[in-house]
Structure 1
Amino acid sequence: MRILMVGAGSVGGFIGAHLAHAGVDVSFLLRPRTYEAVRSRGLTLRSGNTSFTVHPPVATDPSKLATPDVIMLGIKCYDLDQVIWQIGKILKKDTVILTFQNGVDTEERLMATFESHHIVAGIIYIYTKIAEPGVIDHFARGSVTIGELSGNTNTPRITALRDLFAKTPIPCKISRNITKAKWEKMCWNVVFNPLTVLLDDNVAKALDHDDTLALTTDIVKETIIVAEKFGVVLPPETPETVVTTTKAVRNIHTSMFDDWKAGRQTEIEHLNGYLVRHAQTFGVPVPVNETLYRLVKAKMARPSTKKATLHINGQLTTPFTFDRAALARLPTEAQVMDSSTIVAQSQGKGVRLKKILDLLTVDAEADHITFHSSDGKFSASLTLEQARAYGIVIYELDDLPIPIEKGGPFRLTTPGLGDLCANVKHLVRMEITHSPGRDTRPSRVC
C-alpha cells in the first residue's frame, strides 16, 4: 500500500515518520520551506528519550510523487480547500482519503468535491509540537481511531489500514460509529481549545477552578444538543467524561493555544464557530459557545476594513495605492468574478496580480514581491514570476468588502503554486524588492 501524507507538522509528521520508520512506502506533500528542510535533513521525531530520523520522498507537487493508494490528510481545517484542489489531480477511482482533522465537517467538505466512497474518517489523540521545520516533538498520547462512514468495520481497506498501523507504535482502533466518535472529540475541542487561549494557560488552569469546571459542563451540554440535531446521540455523562479523561494530560497546551501564540490562524471557525452557525440554523441557543467564539475572535481581531487600502511600494518608480473600488475598475480581463471556479470551495471576487503588476514601473533589478498582513506578524515573499503566474488578490465577497473574520480587507490566493502559506489573509501591503523579502511563513502544515 502506497501512502501520501499531506503535511509534516504535528499530526502528519508524527504519523508519517512512524510509517516511514516501519518501512511503509510513504511520501510527503509539503510546503516549500518544509520540503527544503526534510529533503536536506530528513524528518525527525523526538519522543521522550528516543529519537529517529527518516528520509522519505518529498515534493511540493503531488504529481511528482508516486501515485498513492491512500492519501492521509495531516493539515488544519482551514487548509483543506486548497488541498482538495491539489489532490484532485492525482485521485484514482479507488483512492482512499483518510482524514485526521479536528471538527466534524471535513468529510462533508470532501464529499462536496469527491465521491463518498473515497472517504475514511479518522481521529488522532495526541499532543505534539514542531520544534523546527522537519523536527517534531511528541509529548503525550498518540493513538488513532478510524472508521467507515457506513459503520462497516470489516471492509478490506479498513483491515488494510489497521494492519498498516500495526507496523508502528501507534495504536489504531476501529469504530463502528466514527461520526459519533468525532463529535465526542469535538466536545473536548470546543472546551479546552478556546479556554486555553482565553485563560492564556495550559489545560490545568481550566480544570483547577470550580467556575471553569461548571463552564466546561455548559459548553459540552450545548454541543450535545447540536449533535442531536445532526442525529448523533451522545451519552448524558459526556461532560464528566471530558473532564475525567483530560486529567491525565492536564499539563498540556492545545493546538489553538500554540497557533495563537505563534500568530497563526486558529480553527475557532471550525469548532465553536461551527456550533454557533448550525445552532442558529436549528433555532437552538448555545450562549456559552457563542460567548467563547466571539471572545476568541475578538482576541485575534485585526483592524477594521473601513476604507481599506492596499499599498504597493519598494523598488518601483511610483508607489501605488488601491482600494476596493479601484480594483473593481480594472479591465474585465483582469477580473476573477468567482474565485471558486479556480480554487475549490473558495468564494470572492478578485483580480489577477499580473494585471496589477503590469501597471507598475518596477526597477530592473527587482525580482521579488513580499505580501504583508495587517498585524505585521505575517509575510510571504515570492518571486515576481511566481506572483505573475499564480497570484490573485481577492477584494470582495458577495459584492461587499471582505469581513475581517473572512480574511479581509484583502486576501492573496495562489492556486497552483503548491504552498498553502503563500495564501495571505488580511493583506494590506505589497513590497517590491531585488531579493527575497521578510518571510514568516510557518513550516507547519497541520
Structure 2
Amino acid sequence: MRILVVGAGAVGGYFGGRLQEKGVDVTFLVREGRKKQLDQTGLVIDSVHGKVTLTPKTILSGEEADAFDLILLSTKAYHLQGAFDSFRQYVNEKTAILPLLNGISHIEQLAAEFGQERIIGGLCFIETTLDQEGRIIQTSPRHDIVFGELSGEKTDRILKIEDAFSGTKSVYRLSDNINQDLWNKYLFISTMSGITTLMRAPIGPIREMPSGRATIEKLSQEIISVMNKMGAPLPEDIAALQLNQIDSLGYSMKSSMQRDMEKQLSVEADHLHGYVLTIARKEQIPVPVLEAVYANLKVYELQLQKDQ
C-alpha cells in the first residue's frame, strides 16, 4: 500500500513515521521549508515509546507522482481547503482518504470535494508537538488511531489499511461504528479544549476545584444537548463516559488548542465550538458556558491578528 501523508507535523509526522518505521511505503507531502528541514535532520520522533530518526520520502505540491492508495490527512481545519488543492492531483478512483481531524464538519467538506465513497472515518488520540528544531515530541503514553468505513462495512480496502497499521509502534483500532466514535471524540475534544483554553490551565487544577469541575460538567452537558438535537449517535450514558475520560487524564494534560494559544498560533474555534454553537443558536438551546468558551477564543483570534 502506497500512503501519502499530507504534512509532516506533530500528528501526521508521528503516525506516518511509525508506518515508515515498520516498512510501509510512505511519502510526505510537505512545504519547501519543512522539506529542507527534513533533508537536513531527518524525521525525528522523540517519544516515550522510543526515539527514532527516519529518512522520509517527500514531495512538494505539484510534483509528478502516481496516485496513492491512501491519503492520511491531519491538517488543522483552517488549512483544510488549501490542503485539498495540494493533494488533489494524487487522487484517483481507487484512492481512499483518511482524515484525523477533530470535529465532524470536515467529513462533509471532504465528501463534497472528492466523493463520499472515498472517505474513511478516522480520529486519533495523541499529545504531540513540534519543537524549534522540527522534532516530534511525545511525552504522554497514548498514541491511538481509530478508523473505519462510514458505512460500518468490513471492506477490502479497510482491511488493507488495518494490515498497514498492524505491527506499528502505535495503537490502532478498526471500528464497527466510526460515526459514533467521531461524535464521542468531538464531544470530548470540544469539552477538553474549551475548558482548558477558558481557564488557561491544564485539566488537573481545573477539575480538582469544585467550581471548575462543575463548569466542566456544565459545558459537556450543553454540548451533549446540542448534539442530541443534531441526531448524533451518542450512547445513553455518554455524560458519565465523558467525565470518566476527563478524570483519567494526567494532572498536567493540556489540550492541543491550549498549546497552540500558548505558542500564539491559530485555533480551530469555528470548526469545533462555533459549529455546535451555530446549531444551538438556531435551535434556541441555551449554552452559556459554550458561549463563553467561543467568545474567549474569538477574542484571542482578534488579538492575534492585531499582533501579527
Provide TM-score, normalisation by structure 1: 0.65
Structure 2 counterpart of 1:259: 260
Per-residue CA deviation, residues 55-84 of structure 1 (Å, 9 max, x unaligned), is 121122153444311000021111111111
**Separation of aligned partners in 2, 1:249 and 1:143:** 16
Matched, 1:212 2:212: yes
Q: How many matched pairs? A: 306
Aligned to 2:165, what secondary structure does the other structure show?
helix
Instruction: Report the Cα offset of residue 30 of structure 1.
Output: 1.0
Partner SS, residue 303 of structure 2:
coil
- Between Structure 1 and Structure 2, the one with more strand by share is 1
The residue aligned with 1:293 is 294
Task: Tell me the distance in 2 between the aligned counterparts of 1:208 and 1:268.
Answer: 26
Question: Which residue number in structure 1 is paired with residue 306 of structure 2?
Answer: 374
Secondary structure of the equivalent of 2:307?
Answer: coil
Query: 1:220 corresponds to which letter in structure 2?
Result: S
- Please say if 1:189 is aligned against 2:121: no
SS where residue 300 of structure 1 aligns? helix
Deviation (angstroms), 1:90: 2.0
Aligned pairs (5 A) from 1:40-439: 40-48=40-48, 50-61=50-61, 63-140=63-140, 141-152=142-153, 154-246=154-246, 247-302=248-303, 374-376=306-308
Cα displacement (A) at 1:33 = 1.6
> CA separation in 2, counterparts of 1:289 and 1:226?
11
- Alpha-carbon distance in structure 2 between the residues aligned to 1:173 and 1:50: 21
Q: Deviations over 1:317-366 (max 9, x none)?
A: xxxxxxxxxxxxxxxxxxxxxxxxxxxxxxxxxxxxxxxxxxxxxxxxxx
Task: Return closer, same or farther for 1:51/1:273 CA change in 2, 3 Å cut-off.
Answer: same
Amino acid at match of 1:89: Q
CA separation in 2, counterparts of 1:18 and 1:295?
36
Q: Kindly state the Cα deviation for residue 281 of structure 1 after the two structures are TM-superposed.
A: 2.7
Deviation at 1:112, TM superposition (A): 1.6
Q: Secondary structure at the match of 2:138?
A: strand
Q: Judging changes above 3 Å, is the alpha-carbon distance between structure 1 residues 133 and 61 closer, same or farther for their aligned structure 2 residues?
A: farther
Name the SS of the counterpart of 2:90 in structure 1.
Answer: coil
Q: CA RMSD in A?
A: 1.8
One-letter amino acid of the structure 2 residue matched with residue 299 of structure 1: Y
Per the TM alignment, residue 200 of structure 1 is displaced from its structure 2 partner at its CA by: 1.9
Measured in 1, the distance between the counterparts of 2:228 and 2:133 equals 41
CA displacement at 1:225 relative to structure 2? 2.0
TM-score, normalised with respect to structure 2: 0.93
1:62–1:90 CA contact under 8 A, matched in 2: no
**Tell me, which stretches of 5 or more residues in structure 1 are unaligned?**
304-372, 377-446
CA displacement 1:146-167 (0-9 Å, x = unmatched): 0111121x11111111111113
Counterpart residue identity of residue 375, structure 1:
D
Is the helix fraction higher in 1 or 2?
2
Equivalent pair of 2:179/2:233 in contact (CA under 8 Å): no
Amino acid at match of 2:9: G
